[in-house]
Structure 1
């Protein structure tokens, strides 16, 4: 695109974002005025607009730094790429474990949403539930996010008080925390029923998890199956590691 076709105010705003991004210690409005030869009212209005949209923020010392919006854009891009990668990975896993239920879940706020699902009752079909929530204390997916997830612990406790939701299942908070520590050491959350049935959830970064529920195939151990699931989770994350 020829430079004459560029929108000058947008170019200036993007240049300001790059300038601030390169200076994590923060910059003052006067530095932006000097760096770009702008009139102070022009620089002020550009900065005010960027702050209103959370691309910039100002601290108590009146220094400007990047706000939350640039990170949210990258997170949105990564989320879309991760969901696309999961749409490719789940059918591959379903081909290996056709009798299992596979899920790909996302932590959003204090809720755990099932975004993708494959199950033997709908072979070969990726389901996209609209409002499928996982309970936080009674499912391995919920435990996985509590062990590995990036969530607001205080907000989570307000919404799902341990005394009401966790204590009937786990007894004391200390016992529950010990169980989460065990999950972190193992790198996943799991529950086994007998010698052949496995529930497992593998973290895929802080906001996603890969879930499995099914019988352990003949000729495989639970540890081998968990290893295959962890390899799949690693493939998902490697596919978006550059974003």
Structure 2
């Protein structure tokens, strides 16, 4: 017959109790939580401290979650985040047949594609080998610039000066700033292409408090001009709905 290990049960209760008190909890309250003496509780919690699962703070003495548990929680949150994004990418591809999608993050001063769905393999999430998006020219890089803080934007421009990389598509910085403002207002940006039938839209992925997490680029090439205006409307509405859905799912709604 199965018999629970009492010390392990108490250890789990300690972790649950500590996690519920972000400001920390003292030894006396922990002992009360597991209905145990302070001396026995000290040995249990110190074992968790030695393992890196709990951290002891001073002035006053109290216990909070340690780095190991925080890292585990962070990894779980990251997995959940990527699952949500990839599910929505697959959904978008079904809604926009023939499209390709590129998910990008700001990594090491570059806007880098981390995952993609290509039109010739629409059910497969692919992970490119850190493909860097062209600064100012790609829909994804425009989205990042639109939502970045001035500090990050300045840092990016030092590496990729606008007069060297951006003037090819945008006449001057004032014009580009207008595009950035429009991107924030509409929640997406349709970047002009040399071939009008090549539709390329950038969509921000926003988390809590509308903080930028990443960007999606949707490339949806058309074969004829007939119905192009309606296709553009469909692309924008579908992308905006997807962006809203991602944010709501990340917030647990």
Q: Establish whether TM, by shorter chain, passes 0.5.
A: yes
1:128 corresponds in structure 2 to 126
Q: Is the 8 A contact 1:162 1:173 kept in 2?
A: no
Relative to structure 1, the CA distance from residue 176 to residue 162 in structure 2 (aligned partners, 3 Å threshold; closer, same or farther) is farther
Relative to structure 1, the CA distance from residue 15 to residue 29 in structure 2 (aligned partners, 3 Å threshold; closer, same or farther) is same
For normalisation by structure 2, the TM-score amounts to 0.67
1:65 corresponds in structure 2 to 64
Relative to structure 1, the CA distance from residue 16 to residue 101 in structure 2 (aligned partners, 3 Å threshold; closer, same or farther) is same
SS of the equivalent of 2:21 reads coil
| CA deviation vs aligned residue, 1:112-147 (integer Å, no higher than 9, x gap) | 33312213xx25453513414233733221232344
More displaced 10-residue stretch of structure 1: 221-230 or 210-219 = 210-219
Relative to structure 1, the CA distance from residue 224 to residue 75 in structure 2 (aligned partners, 3 Å threshold; closer, same or farther) is same
Deviation of the 1:108 alpha carbon: 5.6
1:242 aligns with 2:244: no
2:95 corresponds in structure 1 to 93
Relative to structure 1, the CA distance from residue 230 to residue 17 in structure 2 (aligned partners, 3 Å threshold; closer, same or farther) is same
1:209 aligns with 2:210: no
More displaced 10-residue stretch of structure 1: 75-84 or 233-242 = 233-242
Deviation of the 1:174 alpha carbon: 8.4
1:163 aligns with 2:179: no
2:47 corresponds in structure 1 to 46
User: Separation in 2 of the partners of 1:27 and 1:5?
Assistant: 26
Give 5+ residue unaligned stretches, structure 1.
Answer: none
| CA deviation vs aligned residue, 1:58-100 (integer Å, no higher than 9, x gap) | 47654433453354044134134225514631440342xx2x4
| CA deviation vs aligned residue, 1:147-170 (integer Å, no higher than 9, x gap) | 447x9x86x679x64223143335
1:137 corresponds in structure 2 to 135
SS of the equivalent of 1:8 reads helix
User: Separation in 2 of the partners of 1:33 and 1:190?
Assistant: 60
| CA deviation vs aligned residue, 1:162-215 (integer Å, no higher than 9, x gap) | 223143335898886665443222212331236544321212334343321234
Alignment RMSD: 4.0
SS of the equivalent of 1:193 reads coil
User: Separation in 2 of the partners of 1:189 and 1:5?
Assistant: 57
Number of residue pairs aligned between Structure 1 and Structure 2: 230
1:78 corresponds, among 62, 76, 80, to 80
For normalisation by structure 1, the TM-score amounts to 0.69
Give 5+ residue unaligned stretches, structure 2.
Answer: 207-211
User: Separation in 2 of the partners of 1:204 and 1:157?
Assistant: 18
2:236 corresponds in structure 1 to 226
For the pair shown, which has the larger CA radius of gyration, 1 or 2? 2
